[in-house]
Amino acid sequence: MTEPTIEVPDFRGMQALNAWLTGHDRGLLLQGPDPDSAEPLLHGIVIRQLPEPRTRLNRWDPVTVWVRIPPEDGSGVREPRRPLPPVRSNRAHGET
């Protein structure tokens, strides 16, 4: 008895982690173009994949994906602020 094949979904446009989880749930192994890389496939948007969507593969066959990592715009960095904000006193309550 042969194992049923799995249709490769279209991972393009998905967050890398979501693509990896979707592939795993379907029985596919997603990997980056360098499978020996120390970087896990977690960040970025999938922009390319091999084999193409709707290809039939055996369970746990690899699908290679390329990701684009958006540039950092610094919007998540809030501290430390320079120059430091002025120290406010609470003179109305007798404190300095």
Give the domains, in start order, of the chain with CATH numbers: 6-68 (3.30.10.20)
| pTM to 2 decimal places | 0.70
Say what the pLDDT of residue 8 is: 98
Whether the predicted pLDDT of 4 surpasses 60: yes
Say what the pLDDT of residue 93 is: 63
Say what the pLDDT of residue 78 is: 62
pLDDT tens digits, 45-79: 999 999 999 999 999 999 999 999 877 766 665 66
- For residue 54, give Cα distances in angstroms to 11, 22, 24, 43, 57: 11, 14, 16, 24, 9
